[in-house]
Amino acid sequence: MERISGWGRAAGVLATGLLATGAWACDTCRPRVEAGIYNEHFLGRLALTLMPLLVVLWLVVLIVWSPWSDARPRASSRRSFTQEESS
């Protein structure tokens, strides 16, 4: 049997997580559960949940666009030759 690579295992775990069903509540409790989630504090809690992602993305932007990074997009430093210079 062939061994599964690390990328294959990671893809399998990701696919399993994406295909998994979410949590559910019974018909009696569902309205109370939804009311507890989607109340007046929902947007604030959502912002707090997403804040670490925004901080990490901001750090990536700072690293990529920093003056000491070689990954930063730059204007081409190569000189363009006319047809007369190249012959």
- The answer as to whether 56 is a domain residue is yes
Arithmetic mean of pLDDT, 34-40:
91
- Which residue carries 């990954």 as its tokens? 71
pLDDT at 30: 87
**Considering the domain boundaries, does residue 72 fall inside one?**
no
Residue 46 maps to a domain: yes
Q: Is residue 22 in some structural domain?
A: no
Contacting residues for 63 by C-beta, under 8 A, at least 6 apart:
69
Average pLDDT over every residue of 53-60: 94
Q: What are phi and psi of 36, to 5 degrees?
A: -75, -25
The mean per-residue pLDDT over the stretch 41-66 comes to 92
Residue 71 binned pLDDT confidence (cut-offs 50, 70, 90)? low
For residue 52, give its domain range: 40-66
Residue 47 lies in a domain: yes
23 or 9, higher pLDDT: 9
Count of structural domains, the chain: 1
Stronger pLDDT, 56 or 78, i.e. the higher one: 56
23: in domain? no
> Could you tell me if 72 and 66 are in contact, meaning their C-beta atoms sit under 8 angstroms apart?
yes
